[in-house]
Structure 1
């Protein structure tokens, strides 16, 4: 039985590793821009969908409350009719009482039923006012629902357009990233991705500019700057942990000040003693 041969990544120089990492960082940064471009829209779409669901639930709840109020009004109208009928009955009975005690009892019953009528009429007015207010609230909620539905449709169309425009570019960048990743040793690639994940701006590798780290802008000692320019070993920023490269490798032109510093001639000891 033949054993599966593990494909080893060819050994490359530190400079080649740094170049590959920086190219990978550039591609990943472009992918981040695409995600950022559409990154807000999915959240906005989700928020609008949640808001629309909430409005629909609210409208249904208010409609249910209105139905209950109307049923309550109908019940109270029946109670009013019953109370009025009782009043008429008690008034008729007053004509046939045998003593003042019976008359007083019937009078109190008439007063009680009259109060019941007044109370029910008051509750009906309150319920009708609540129904009117809730119907107005439904109109406002339905208008808001229409607006949010239109906003959702627009956002979805915008998101679909961006996805359609960037899908091909994103796939191309993803393939390029995979191609470069295959040339980098797994341990270094894993370390780079870990640094990048912990970085606020998504940079796992940066270049030294004006004697400082391009990621956290802390000053880099002169010897470490020299080590970075030598490209003999992987140098990380002691402050933010990002891998550092020099501007030339990153393809960034140095500033005029930096050029003057690098090209300024030094006086030799021989010429100095000759003077």
Structure 2
């Protein structure tokens, strides 16, 4: 494991503020994307769900149509049976055989009626399925169009920022390599504990940036001396003087401009 070089307090403050500026720029890039990645993911899930629903509706429709075909085929078989039994009635020699065939004919007619009833029910079901398919296709088309716009928007932002973010993340790791672990742990803890991700801030007009609490004059002198690391008693953030902040900001802006 490579031992980190020893830094003076001023060098530590500069390194921490540089890291903050880099990480803040990464935060800005992520904020530019906002909720877009989640919106795109949700829309993709919705489109996939609608496609699956559409697939099932078409499958159901095919099954019903096949059922109607089977019923019509069965009706033809029942009619053929009726013809056969009717013909046999003309050849019977007694009433018992005639009545037996009459019952078979009656049974076949009942089967035809039942099959026709089922066909009517299936035809109604087909109309309902077709309406559902039309509604689903319409919604799917609208969601696909919306998804296309959102994906294009996200891709545009990603194209503009992806390379910069990747290089910034590399720079962030480079800066971290020179900062002792104890300070990095404190930096990450503070950063994760505040809403805007600012763990290191400069003194602006007598107060820490982003805060309305005034820093006592003696503390401001100590911060400007850069002899020890001082934190804001109200927010816990690490404080640097404005001169140092301006110098490092110019340096980091120059680095970012070259990315």
TM-score, normalized by length of structure 1? 0.68
Offset of 1:97 from its aligned partner? 4.4
Question: In the alignment, what sits opposite 2:5?
Answer: 9
TM-score, normalized by length of structure 2? 0.72
Contact 2:13 2:240 in 1 (8 A): no
Would you say how many aligned residue pairs link Structure 1 and Structure 2? 243
Runs of 5+ in structure 2 lacking a partner?
247-259
CA distance in 2, matches of 1:73, 1:64: 14
CA distance in 1, matches of 2:242, 2:131: 69
Q: Which string of whole-angstrom CA distances, capped at 9 and with x for unpartnered residues, describes residues 92-145 of structure 1?
A: 444454444434333322222111101100111111222222223222222333
Offset of 1:7 from its aligned partner? 5.9
CA distance in 2, matches of 1:88, 1:174: 85
Contact 1:97 1:103 in 2 (8 A): yes
Q: Which string of whole-angstrom CA distances, capped at 9 and with x for unpartnered residues, describes residues 187-218 of structure 1?
A: 31233124424555433345799x99988x8x
CA distance in 1, matches of 2:88, 2:186: 100
* 2:225 equivalent to 1:230: no
Offset of 1:167 from its aligned partner? 3.8
Contact 1:234 1:243 in 2 (8 A): no
Question: In the alignment, what sits opposite 1:105?
Answer: 100
* CA RMSD, Structure 1 to Structure 2 (Å): 3.8
CA distance in 2, matches of 1:112, 1:239: 92
Rg comparison, structure with higher value: 1
Offset of 1:64 from its aligned partner? 1.9
CA distance in 1, matches of 2:93, 2:170: 107
Contact 1:62 1:134 in 2 (8 A): yes
Structure 1 residues 8 and 78, CA gap change in structure 2 (3 angstroms): closer
Matches within 5 A, 1:117-266: 117-167=112-162, 169-170=164-165, 173-174=168-169, 177-178=172-173, 180-205=175-200, 230-231=222-223, 233-234=228-229, 242-245=236-239
CA distance in 2, matches of 1:51, 1:230: 58
Offset of 1:73 from its aligned partner? 1.0
Q: Which string of whole-angstrom CA distances, capped at 9 and with x for unpartnered residues, describes residues 68-93 of structure 1?
A: 21221111111111112222333344
Structure 1 residues 80 and 245, CA gap change in structure 2 (3 angstroms): same
Structure 1 residues 88 and 235, CA gap change in structure 2 (3 angstroms): same
